Structures are given as structure tokens and as C-alpha cells.
Structure 1
């Protein structure tokens, strides 16, 4: 069981990766203690997940949460900072909950309706998670409430093929391509910080790297990093020192300039007619 957890304002939203079963917990205060308490209640109902993914909030970076993950025996992973695409599953769950609660009314009944509604694969989140249909306020044939597990192996295979097909069409439409891996010591341009840095290593999270800059270590997604031959600026101290960027500008001809990727560019010479 893989679980995505996202904390939005005073609510904690958790979604199971396979069944898309959503749990929502109200938090009086968004602190590490309240988040752990809400997760313990979810674990008591559904069991401890193998992997739990969350954002990079301070609630999940504390020593108390690390001890909680060690005690319950699950692997905690965080998404890449400043990369919304890495939060797709959880953000989609948050949007679903907002849509269900948009008109007000009975929030619990709205969640029950979602959990009992069949997905594109023909099975509801409740059936995929519990092996049976959930009884709702609508009239149902008693036979449909009898526990009956779907063919999980066949369903997972079909879901995987569907996702691969979607990925293929998405990459073709947006002309995406797989970027080469970065190596320790390689110089990169960090688009989110507008500065150079040096790759330290690749983290356990997919497409995520630790990069050293003049201000310290940063964790960024591969899409935020551009490989360049430009040496990174060294941290300096004192009023008489000159930064590397100033040295670079001084060495560049007057009519040339340095691009964001660190490449020197000079405008073409045109005839003055």
C-alpha cells in the first residue's frame, strides 16, 4: 500500500495510490503532533503503508516524524520542492475533495458517494481497497454487497498499460524527452534560484538532486537543473572581493552577454542600410 499525504490549511488529505480511496482528517493546528495523530487513526483503519509520500512541510521534516516513521516501519518520501507535477496524485485528491464539498451539505455523505462510485476501471475505491461495495443511501441489490475481490493482478496490468499509453501520448504532444542524468561535481544552472551550483548526489526520490550553491545545499528536480560548463560562484566575504559573476562579465566583450544557462552570446552583425 502506497499512501500520498497532503496537508491543506486545516485538513489532511490522504489517498491510496492503487485504489484512489481518499481519507480526510480535520486538524485544529497544522503541527507535527496533530499530523501524526491523524495518520495513526488512518493506519488503525487501513493498516500501515509501505511508502508514504508527502510535501516538504515542516511537519514532515521534524525529528518527531522521523521517529514515527521508524516506529511504524514505513518509508517516508517527499516530493521535489517547487515541482507541482510531482504532487499530481495528492493535488488531484485535494481538488476532488474541494469539488465534493463545494456546495456544502453533509461532507461525510459526499465522501461516501465518492468512495462507492465506480472509477474508469469499473470498480469503486471502496471495492478496490476492501473487496466489497459500500452500502450507501441509494437503493442497492443485496447481492452487490457480497464481498467479491476483483482480479487484482489483471487490473494492475491494465492500469499500468493505460498509464504507459497516456504517458506516450503526453510526451508526443508536448515533445518531451528524457533528460540525461547528472553526475556529482557537475556544474548546473538552477532555474528556480537563477544561480549556478554543483551537483552533490542524486537522492532516493525520482529525478531529484542535491545541489550545492553559495548559500548552501538545495534539493531540486531534474527539470530545474541545466547542465553548463560555467564554474559556480564561490561564497565570498569582505568588501574588497569581487564575485565570479562580476569577473565573468568583465571578461565578456562589450557587445556580448551571458545567458541564463551560462553561455556567452553575441548579437549578430547586421548591415546598417
Structure 2
């Protein structure tokens, strides 16, 4: 379940949407206000019409998180589960359905059409992955619309392949989701962490401490003496880096460099000795060099150099 507002032509209306997780069938109700009493009375009408659900998932809005709604869940025997604050993805089923309902309402306002008449036909539109409409999966039959149909098409009929098609769709969605996701580590009570308290407004990580694990993917965190509940996505552990191994590696590398540096000074180049035959040839080619070769300077070979000159396109240029 979720609550949303729609403003059309200066008129603001509040709606309560209740969607069935199996069939995608949703109920749309207009709320007079966002009080807990109004929300509970609307839920009672839906539960009396379709039956009491085993589990109800909502966000942490004030009309759901209060003592009256808690007493209502205890009296009507259903489990109430709340999603993580500032993490709409944890209540994704209701959020997606809110987008569908908003588009329907806005289109009806623009075209001056009846919302409930459009909702009747939308519930009977077959879905692509199962070839069955939400009302067929929810009530096991079609409801009568303005589209002409025979009486045989409105008879009760249990569709057998629906659970398999839903399971296949969820499996494919999970495979696409897991391509760019990873499993985060489990945090322990008392562990120091950093947490994003207001991810929509700021990207600041506050230091805190884990108090307890609220659900499988959310934790209760203490920050400056106050308790917050946040999803694991907005929590990262606080690690103290051990620099001893890095220091040892640096010292080892520095000692190796020193050894190489010292070895370089001990290295000496030995010039090749000139044989008598080479000396005689040298006297013939270069008579200015003495027999003791005192004027001969031997040098190590240098790197080859390319000829540097003006570019060819300046060859016809005259200054």
C-alpha cells in the first residue's frame, strides 16, 4: 500500500493504492485526509470486500506508523512490514503501481473522462508475459466491460500456467538485476560505520554505530545519540587501514634501490687493448697519432641522431 497526491487543474486529491503482489490487481481509493483513522477505515472496506491479507507492506508514513494502525493489524490478524526510510525501491511494487495510476488519473482529467470507467477497462487488459488480465488472475474470471463478449467468456476459469509465468518473469528480472549488483556484507551490532542520513538532499556520510538489524537489508544506527533506520545500500563499514605491510614493502624496495645505486659506482668500464697489428694500421691511417697512442681518445658509442633541417614546404621560400 502507498499514499500519493495528484494535482489537476488546481484540484488536489489524495489516494490510497492497494496492489496485490500476485496478480497486479490494484484498488484505488480517495482519502479525505492523511490521518490514521481515514486510512484504517479505507483498509477495512477493502479487506471486507476481498479478504484480509496475510502481509501488508507500506512505507514509513505517519498514517501507517502509529499505535492505531498497530492495533488494527493485531485485531485483524495480519503482519505489517515497513520499508526502509529514504529507499523507495524496498516498496517497489507499490511505487510502480502509483506511476501507472497517476498516468491514468492525469489522462482522465485531461480528456474529461470517468476515472472509474477507465480503471474498469485497465484491469481487463491482458498482460504480455501471461496473456491474462489482472482481474482474471485475481478473481479467476473476466468482469463485464463495454467490449461485447459472450456469457461463456465471463464464466469462472482457473488459469493453470499463471504461477509458472510469474515465476519465469521474476527469474528473468532477477538475472538482469544481478548483472550490475553485488551482495553486501552483513554488519554486526556495535560495529562502527558511515551512513547517509538524507541521501536525497546531501551526499554526506555521518559516522555512527550499528545498534541492531531491523530486517534482512536494513539496520538501526545510532548517530549523535539518535537512532535511524537505513538500508544497507546507504551504510558502509568503517575500516582502519593496516599500513605495516605497506611500510615493509616500501622499506624493502628502498633497500634494493640503494644496493643497485652502490653497485653502479663499483662498476668500471674496461677499454679494449690495441694489438700491435691494429697499432701499425692506425699509424698508416693516422700518422699524427703517436706510438704510445697518447693523442687517441676512445669514447663510448653515442645514440644515432637524425638530420634536423627546415621542412620541405619551405624549400622554395626566399627571405
TM range (shorter): 0.7 to 0.9
Alignment of 1:179-194 (within 5 A): 179-192=184-197, 194=205
Candidates 161, 164, 178, aligned match of 1:157: 164
Alignment of 1:112-261 (within 5 A): 112-120=120-128, 121-151=130-160, 154-172=161-179, 175-192=180-197, 194-204=205-215, 206-229=216-239
Shift of 1:61: 1.2
Candidates 53, 56, 60, aligned match of 1:56: 60
| Rounded Cα–Cα distance in structure 2 between residues aligned with 1:103 and 1:82 | 29
* Larger gyration radius, structure 1 or structure 2: 2
What is the aligned partner in structure 1 of residue 73 from structure 2? Answer: 69
| Offset from partner CA, 1:133-190 (integer Å, 9 cap, x none) | 1110111122110100111xx4323322321222212321xx2111111111111100
Q: Do 2:137 and 2:162's aligned partners in 1 also have CA atoms closer than 8 Å? A: no
| Rounded Cα–Cα distance in structure 2 between residues aligned with 1:218 and 1:170 | 28
Alignment of 1:33-44 (within 5 A): 33-44=37-48
Q: Say which SS state the counterpart of residue 64 (structure 2) adopts.
A: helix
What is the aligned partner in structure 2 of residue 7 from structure 1? Answer: 3
What is the aligned partner in structure 2 of residue 261 from structure 1? Answer: none
TM-score by length of 1: 0.78
What is the total number of aligned residue pairs between the two structures?
Answer: 221
Q: Say which SS state the counterpart of residue 102 (structure 1) adopts.
A: helix
Q: Say which SS state the counterpart of residue 200 (structure 1) adopts.
A: strand
| Rounded Cα–Cα distance in structure 1 between residues aligned with 2:74 and 2:178 | 38
Shift of 1:95: 0.9
| Rounded Cα–Cα distance in structure 2 between residues aligned with 1:155 and 1:130 | 13
RMSD: 1.4
Q: Say which SS state the counterpart of residue 59 (structure 1) adopts.
A: coil
| Offset from partner CA, 1:12-37 (integer Å, 9 cap, x none) | 01100001111011111110000000
Query: Which blocks of at least 5 consecutive residues in structure 1 are unaligned?
Result: 231-273
Higher relative contact order, chain-length normalized (CA < 8 Å, sep 6+): 1
Q: Do 2:220 and 2:229's aligned partners in 1 also have CA atoms closer than 8 Å? A: yes
Q: Which moved more, 1:138-147 or 1:189-198?
A: 189-198
Query: Which blocks of at least 5 consecutive residues in structure 2 are unaligned?
Result: 6-13, 199-204, 241-319
TM-score by length of 2: 0.67
Q: Say which SS state the counterpart of residue 89 (structure 1) adopts.
A: helix
